[in-house]
Amino acid sequence: MKRLKTTVSAAMLMAVSLSAGAKSPVFDQVFNDSTLRIDYIFGGNDKTSLVMLDHMHKWKGWAGKRNNLEKIPYVGYGIITVTDSLTGDTIYRHSFSSLFREWQATPEAKQTSKSFQNSFLVPLPKAKAMINIVLLDMRHDKVAENTHVYTPGDILVKKADEKKTVPFRYVHKGGDPNKAIDVALLAEGYTEAEMDKFYADAKRAADAMFTHEPYKSRKNDFNFIAVAAPSVDSGVSVPRDGVWKNTAFKSHYDTFYSDRYLTTSNIFDVYDALNGIPFEHLIILVNSPMYGGGGIYNSSTLSTTGHPTFVQVLVHEFGHSFGGLADEYFYDNDVMTDSYPLDVEPTEPNITTLVDFDSKWKSMLKKGTPVPTPIELKDKYPLGVFEGGGYSSKGVYRPVDKCRMRVNDVPNFCPVCEKAINDLIDFYTK
């Protein structure tokens, strides 16, 4: 497939609008208090990307943002745009990353093509609307696109059956769902008999989040909802050991042949379990004692609840899925080395290639801080520009020596990550 040569500049890496100069849309004027779920198939290989519409669903209630409707905090590696068909105005935007995008950088993608399920939520338009989705590569170039229409009253947009909603309860309620950030904690690998354990694990997960700033100071801006989806088998699949469990969402370790990478590719089943539940961000709690997890921006976090580092892994992975933060760790000649082109500024706020450092944490540096900052000066300049991050030991830089986004034994986020998360909370709630 010929690549569509549309580049997103570094200047667009913070909140932007396609309708420059236009007034921000008012939620109640353009949307119902309802949710439209859109299912897509992403597919291709290392050179080809396709995005195809699968189905649309709807249910009463909208738990997402009601301000900044046409803006996005970070570009990510994909954008959904909802446009009013009559006026042409952009009335909603959402950015994301995907497991498909990660897979395209693996050796397997050079040998075969593969498909991935993806689901996204947008508020339900009152009038006919055009929905456009684009996929971006690591250079922020557009590589795939699909535009389709939503028409009120479309008989093929399925209504959620409210009588079949999976049981759920709040394990932390900080505010009105219309204003607070709603996070679903979804059970995976818990049998019906283990649901008391799941609810206890979900409460532990929410409580753990609030031991870290800025979440600790912003407890009233979050709701955490435990969703008790039962599995036939207890535990989760471990392919390298030949163990395959019958669980609600078929999660497994060994994603991309990486032992600890725990994901699910059954996204449609995940969202079926969440139909009608007020949420906008997702954590899947996996009933396993083994180390592992994963987090993808505006997609999901997976974390195992039985490992001693459960809390640390959960907070780190939520830093990806909610905070849009990059990994700050790196290895020489790692499989993910060179993931970030060195002549392009990454979208994530906590790493830089110095291509557009002005848009990152430059203003936070102590006067006289050398850029880059030699690691031997970390005590003199604890906030600096240290080489190594985003899986690469050369050419990518991080704000501090050790942060929550680099190692598990550091209790806090660095000042750059903390500010980025705080700004994101403001974006969704103010």
Mean pLDDT (whole number) for 259-281? 95
Q: Are 47 and 23 in contact (CB under 8 A)?
A: no
- pLDDT class of 339 with cuts at 50, 70, 90: confident
Mean pLDDT (whole number) for 29-38? 97
Mean pLDDT (whole number) for 85-111? 95
**pLDDT, tens only, 144-187:** 999 999 999 999 999 988 777 899 999 999 988 888 999 999 99
Q: Are 387 and 401 in contact (CB under 8 A)?
A: no
Burial class (CB in 10 A: 0-12, 13-18, 19+), 110: exposed
Q: What is the pLDDT of residue 177?
A: 82
Question: What's the rounded Cα separation, in Å, for the pair 385 and 401?
Answer: 9
Q: Which residues of 270-299 are buried (b: 16+ CB within 10 A; e: fewer)?
A: bbbbbbbbbbbbbbbbbbbebbbbbbbbbb
Question: What's the rounded Cα separation, in Å, for the pair 202 and 228?
Answer: 10
The proportion of the chain whose per-residue pLDDT surpasses 90, expressed as a percent, equals: 88
- pLDDT class of 202 with cuts at 50, 70, 90: very high
Q: What is the pLDDT of residue 10?
A: 39
Tell me how far CA of residue 35 lies from CA of 63, 126, 322, 414, in angstroms: 8, 11, 20, 35
Tell me how far CA of residue 142 lies from CA of 1, 2, 7, 54, 267, in angstroms: 12, 11, 7, 21, 24
What is the phi/psi pair of residue 122, to 5°? -135, 155
Mean pLDDT (whole number) for 196-214? 96
Residue with tokens 């080489």: 387
User: Is the pTM above the cut of 0.75?
Assistant: yes
Please report, in angstroms and rounded to a whole number, the separation of the first and last CA atoms in the chain: 41
Give me the torsion for CA of 358, 360, 363, 364, rounded to 10°: -160
Give me the torsion for CA of 180, 183, 184, 188, rounded to 10°: -170
**pLDDT, tens only, 113-156:** 999 999 999 999 999 999 999 999 989 999 999 999 999 999 99
What's the DSSP call for residue 103?
H
**pLDDT, tens only, 40-97:** 999 999 999 999 999 999 999 999 999 999 999 999 999 999 999 999 999 999 999 9
Burial class (CB in 10 A: 0-12, 13-18, 19+), 29: exposed
